């Protein structure tokens, strides 16, 4: 039977000679990688490490065993779940037959998730019977597995959450969208290009293996499209101070007059600071300068083994307090405004509490906390990685190196959003054979920093594990009891509604432990997009409520929603605490131009 002309025109048969050359070239490129990998993992030290590999890194085995025991002890519940599953599966089967026969299937209702799933955007997932059946079968199985775990009566909430998360990692990996033969987009691309997409995808994989020095390090963006100081982190400024912990950047004013009270930004030490200074037009730092702030920012060192004994106290004294002293000295002002992001806010709140306990008049006029946890009781999915056994495993890793490798934390954050940060790139890069989109945010996301051993041990034990920061005297810094209720300066918490790292309910709870005037604003979107949201984008919106509330839920119930970015709303608040306008301050020549060598160095000391 002759092939339809339209199909013939769409189908590109591969050039056998070119295809053979491409495969041979890929094989030749792969050989050095295979040899490097073999050498890397054949040393006695590496072999010993591999043999001591923990097959249960999330300490989930016992939860699985308890879950299976509950199922066997309650067969009626298992039968109910199976009956419901079979009934829904039968409906899916009927709908698939109806699609295949081109009959109306609108009368066949299933209990499928209503939220759109970006993995199944291609029209074939809905229109073609076989793809529709695969999609709905997969979603149905995932749904019932998740519901079976969450309906458990014997498991604790923490065990259920951990078990559900670990199971979701597996079900996400098994999605039909992740395989070449069951993804219509990949099939169409393979037909259209004659298989060239798969050859390109293999080349992309080899490139990622080279980047990871034998380990697969999936590319999330086009790294050669970005250069710090050239098209990212480009807000003009100078490094005006540095010590072994951080560089202090002062940014060049863009207005003739500036607010009298300067602004110090404390970024997380777990990431590089330029999330706050991405490309022009998408930079919080740039916007602050344009609003008339004298902006200073701390750029933390990326520590190596020499920093193993640096403590939380080191980050307070040689970090934040030193930065505050430098800003007051440079500007000749007695008080400064402060803004901190994520765990930088945890550090700032602890620092202000320490200063409040040791000084009569502290040099801080206000504090803004962006997605900051002080109460870690409801700290979200990260708690699933941080029970006692898992913390012990992390400590073993840190003992060997003197620090926790930033790549380890990057993998953890990627696992929290595997479909977005792992599998979408597997499909795009390896199956479709395309380059990832040049995205500044993902360039930053793939540029992690290390955690000093002693500092990180203190943080994990006292914050995530024991939740001691909210206790009066729960932690001590150089013999001084930390009491958050002594923080009397005006504070503004900015949290985001879809935050999976610092859930807004938890940040709200933490804000209630401070002793002064606290303003709380809830922005739309997530941990990063909700914060880095310039007004020009006109996206997401935010909620405000000036009335006191006993709980986060009560606060939101009575909150008012506004459109657009929270930045101008916050600017009105901080302006009221910043005094009159003064002549813009000139920036000294200092040490070097921003962004500074600490953020561009691959490791501390490079």
Q: State the pLDDT at residue 361.
A: 93
Could you report the per-residue pLDDT of 540-556, keeping only the tens digit for each? 999 999 988 989 999 99
Q: What is the mean pLDDT of residues 178-184?
A: 94
pTM, to two decimals:
0.88
Whole-number pLDDT of residue 289? 98
pLDDT for position 606: 38
Whole-number pLDDT of residue 45:
61
Counting Cβ atoms within 10 Å, is residue 301 exposed (0-12), middle (13-18) or buried (19+)?
buried
What pLDDT was estimated at residue 1? 37
Q: Is the pLDDT of residue 181 over 50?
A: yes
pLDDT interval class at 24 (50, 70, 90): low
Q: Assign residue 144 a region (left: φ > 0; alpha: ψ between -120 and 50; beta: otherwise).
A: alpha
**Catalytic residue (choose from 73, 342, 408, 491):** 342
pLDDT reported for residue 67 = 82
66 or 231: which carries more pLDDT confidence?
Answer: 231
Reported as half-sphere exposure (CB side, CA atoms, 13 A), residue 586 has a value of 2
Angle subtended at Cα 174 by Cα 172 and Cα 176, rounded to the nearest 5 degrees: 105
Question: What are residue 264's phi and psi, to 5 degrees?
Answer: -110, 130
User: Residue 49: what pLDDT?
Assistant: 55
Query: What CA–CA distance (Å, rounded) separates 269 from 533?
Result: 22
Give the Cα separation of 27 and 40 in Å (integer).
Answer: 20
**123 closest CA partner among 135, 111, 137:** 135
CB atoms near residue 478 (< 10 Å): 10
User: What pLDDT does residue 3 have?
Assistant: 41
Residue 64: the pLDDT is 81
Whether residue 491 lies in the annotated active site: no
Give me the chain's average pLDDT, please: 88
Please determine, for residue 373, whether its predicted confidence score (pLDDT) is greater than 70.
yes
pLDDT digits (tens, 9 = 90+) for 258-300: 999 999 999 999 889 999 999 999 999 999 999 999 999 999 9
Give the model confidence (pLDDT) of 197-240 as tens digits.
888 898 899 888 888 877 788 999 999 999 999 999 999 999 99
Phi and psi of 258, rounded to 5°?
-135, 160
pLDDT of res. 17: 62
Q: Where are the beta strands (DSSP E) in 325-439?
A: 336-341, 364-370, 403-404
The proportion of the chain whose per-residue pLDDT surpasses 70, expressed as a percent, equals 88
Burial state string for 152-161 with b = 16 or more CB within 10 A and e = fewer than 16? beebeeebbb
Beta bridge partners of 518: 491
């Amino acid at each position: 039977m002759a092939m339809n002309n339209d199909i013939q025109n769409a189908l590109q048969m591969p050039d056998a000679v070119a295809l053979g050359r491409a495969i041979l070239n890929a094989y030749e490129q792969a050989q050095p990688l295979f040899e490097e990998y073999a050498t890397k993992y054949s040393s006695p030290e590496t072999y010993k490490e591999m043999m001591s590999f923990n097959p249960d890194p999330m300490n989930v085995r016992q939860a699985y065993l308890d879950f299976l025991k509950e199922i066997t002890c309650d067969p009626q519940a298992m039968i109910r779940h199976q009956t419901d599953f079979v009934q829904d599966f039968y409906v899916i089967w009927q709908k698939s037959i109806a699609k295949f026969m081109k009959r109306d299937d609108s009368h066949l209702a299933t209990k499928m998730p209503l939220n759109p799933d970006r993995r199944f955007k291609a029209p074939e997932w809905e229109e073609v019977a076989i793809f529709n059946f695969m999609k709905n079968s997969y979603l149905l199985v995932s749904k019932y597995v998740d519901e079976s775990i969450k309906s458990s009566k014997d498991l604790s909430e923490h065990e259920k959450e951990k078990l559900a998360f670990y199971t979701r990692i597996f079900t996400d990996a098994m999605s039909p969208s992740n395989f070449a033969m069951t993804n219509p987009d990949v099939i169409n691309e393979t037909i259209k290009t004659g298989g060239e997409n798969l050859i390109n995808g293999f080349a992309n994989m080899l490139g990622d293996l080279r980047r990871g020095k034998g380990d697969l390090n999936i590319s999330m963006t086009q790294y050669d499209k970005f250069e710090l100081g050239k098209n990212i982190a480009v807000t003009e400024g100078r490094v005006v101070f540095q010590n072994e912990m951080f560089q202090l950047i002062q940014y060049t004013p863009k207005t003739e007059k500036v607010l009298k009270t300067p602004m110090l930004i404390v970024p997380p030490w777990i990431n590089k600071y330029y999330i706050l200074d991405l490309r022009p037009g998408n930079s919080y730092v740039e916007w602050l300068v344009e609003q008339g702030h004298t902006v200073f920012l701390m750029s933390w060192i990326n520590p190596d083994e020499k920093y193993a004994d640096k403590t939380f106290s080191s980050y307070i004294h040689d970090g934040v307090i030193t930065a505050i002293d430098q800003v007051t000295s440079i500007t000749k002002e007695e008080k400064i405004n402060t803004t901190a992001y994520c765990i930088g806010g945890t550090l700032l709140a602890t620092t202000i509490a320490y200063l409040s306990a040791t000084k009569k008049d502290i040099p801080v006029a206000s504090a803004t906390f962006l997605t900051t946890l002080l109460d870690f009781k409801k700290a979200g999915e990260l708690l699933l990685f941080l029970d006692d056994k898992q913390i012990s495993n992390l400590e073993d890793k840190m003992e060997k190196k003197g620090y926790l490798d930033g790549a380890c934390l990057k993998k953890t954050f990627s696992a929290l959003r595997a479909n977005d940060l792992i599998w979408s790139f597997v499909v795009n890069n390896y199956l479709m054979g395309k380059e990832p989109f040049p995205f500044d945010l993902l360039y930053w996301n793939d540029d992690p920093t290390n955690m000093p051993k002693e500092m990180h041990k203190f943080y994990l034990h006292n914050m995530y594990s024991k939740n001691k920061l909210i206790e009066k005297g729960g932690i001590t810094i150089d013999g001084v009891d930390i009491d958050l209720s002594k923080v009397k300066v005006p504070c503004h918490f900015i949290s985001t509604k879809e935050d999976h790292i610092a859930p807004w309910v938890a940040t709200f709870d933490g804000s209630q432990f401070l002793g002064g005037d606290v303003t709380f604003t809830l922005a739309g979107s997530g941990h990063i997009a909700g914060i880095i949201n310039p007004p020009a984008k006109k996206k997401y919106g935010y909620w405000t409520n000036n009335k006191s509330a006993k709980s986060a839920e009560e606060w939101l119930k009575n909150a008012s929603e506004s459109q657009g970015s929270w930045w101008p709303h916050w600017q009105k608040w901080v302006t009221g605490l910043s005094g009159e306008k003064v002549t813009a301050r000139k920036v000294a020549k200092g040490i070097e131009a921003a962004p500074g060598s600490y953020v561009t160095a691959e490791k501390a000391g490079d």
